[in-house]
Chains A and B, each alone.
Chain A
């Protein structure tokens, strides 16, 4: 399966089902590659091909989620190949387990929503940032549970994703107000809690998310409001940034910008890093975790 076909497959996945998380689409693409790959004769060769494929996918969609999905898949290959050194049998087992894994993680979002919606009390005022499908699912579950709450969404420039979130929430009959990104400090005294999604959860327990999340976290800490993050477990990524500069450039900008522009210093970054000290709890499909528990999970997987 050649590289362009792969990228097309990935794009089709995302187009057909806009709800699918990008990491899941990436893993599905890689599994498809695995099924169709005839050229590999050794496991090392297979890994090489996969690494190149992942790099190609990252060029198509530079988000952290695709990178974490790719790494997870590589890890999955390594773990399976340790048990079955024979390539053909290994491939069979990989394909089976891969399908099972995909089935499990497609349920992750509902698991997260089930855990989180009990933290939303009647009459709560929630602040969220930009457009996150996981947060939408959480709010949907809370609304289905007959809870009454209001939502404030930040507009989230430069792509005004917040307005799309507001539209989706209005379709669910949840009272929602769009606020300017600059109005976060102004609105913070009114809200009871802040819930955001994450594009990636890093090893320290911090998160990488749409630009503006860090500001939101600092404000909520200053006002002593709980700051909750909802993320599926496949978003855990092996990065350990200590500040904003440590986040790799390839995640900060959109894929097209990275290819087209010469001097990235002139571009506005699309994501920022929120340190774990500002986060109260992280809701994942593995349970409710404190930020310090995240590195434990990653260690269990990678070491």
Chain B
């Protein structure tokens, strides 16, 4: 019974945590200032880019229409999925609540905010999946809350997109090891089987 009581108590505490946590108002993407930063992302070459090899030339600067500039402390630049890469993939869905949004999971760079135009040469990481992307830069305040953003594409996310081809992850050495162990398994079985049949035959002939 003591176990039941302590389990129930811990359950109650957890529930209280949940309730209190959920009470804060969620920050929304639609509340952020649009187009506060002018962002460009230029691929190093034409066509589909290769993860781990090709680069993006990313620049960002303050837009003339920005109003919340005083709050900017850090700029977080991220790689985001274009709508075509989100189809049939609910784990990449765009959500208005910022903490739920999963459309920009890949971090490119985080830099302290500087008034002058910034740039960064980004080599596509080897864990970037195959897909179509654009770049977005969030302006974050001192409390680590997003206040504004700018992106390399238009609002409908249809222009200036680029495609990436992921690495396969396969290696010749893996393929060879895989074959070797498979063959060993089948051979070991056959050897045992034949051996046992042979012993049974010897027994029978005794």
Are A and B physically bound partners? Answer: no
Q: Which residues of A contact B (CB under 8 A)?
A: none
Q: Which residues of B contact A (CB under 8 A)?
A: none
